[in-house]
Chains A and B, each alone.
Chain A
Amino acid sequence: GQNIDQPTEMTATEGAIVQINCTYQTSGFNGLFWYQQHAGEAPTFLSYNVLDGLEEKGRFSSFLSRSKGYSYLLLKELQMKDSASYLCAVRPPYNQGGKLIFGQGTELSVKP
């Protein structure tokens, strides 16, 4: 089966750092993705991890531990525009059309 867990919502302060966790139990694993989705808009791609470790991209970093079935998205120097839903998604093994299984998303509110 497939199970992906994220906190439903988080609140943080402008300029601070926030870590959004994602745990997964899936039938096989071929990569983990993070997407950002502002209200009423389509998701946009943030990061991709397939090997253990940290991937850094500007203010955003993503970490993966395959043995623990765990990932986190780290947002630094938070800005008001970072208020959005953050979606964790797992890619199953090959021969499934590259499909993604999404978690329910974490609604992040950035306060002044």
Chain B
Amino acid sequence: SQTIHQWPATLVQPVGSPLSLECTVEGTSNPNLYWYRQAAGRGLQLLFYSVGIGQISSEVPQNLSASRPQDRQFILSSKKLLLSDSGFYLCAWSRGGENNEQFFGPGTRLTVL
């Protein structure tokens, strides 16, 4: 069966510090991978998606970036965090192709102070 992992589960960082969130998927090959952010009481905002190694599509211009160094690894980064980067970050995967549901990881709750 497939599983998706995210770490860390929670993170408190000062403004201006760097960020690295990691997501890995097990039990599948060539997945589509996604990063979402959810502000308190709000819906999910798609940040990045990837259909293969090294292929990243950005949905919202901001100070975040994403990388996919391996088939089942997706990393969200920032060089300098802003207060507005606080939120619940969710990684998701779906089977390759266009018609499959997405499965979400447990999320990382980020607080920027």
Contacts and interface: CB of A to CB of B under 8 A. Distances in A.
B51 A43 contact: no
Given A94-B98, A97-B57, A98-B97, A43 B104 contact: yes
A23 to B, nearest CB: 14
B42 to A, nearest CB: 6
Interface residues of A, number: 26
Interface residues of B, number: 27
Given A30-B98, A97-B50, A99-B49, A44 B104 contact: yes
Contacts of B90: 42-43
A48 B46 contact: no
A42 B42 contact: no
Contact of A45 (B50, B97, B98, B103): B103
Given A42-B90, A42-B107, A43-B104, A103 B99 contact: no
8 contacts: A30-B99, A43-B104, A97-B34, A98-B49, A98-B94, A98-B97, A98-B100, A99-B57
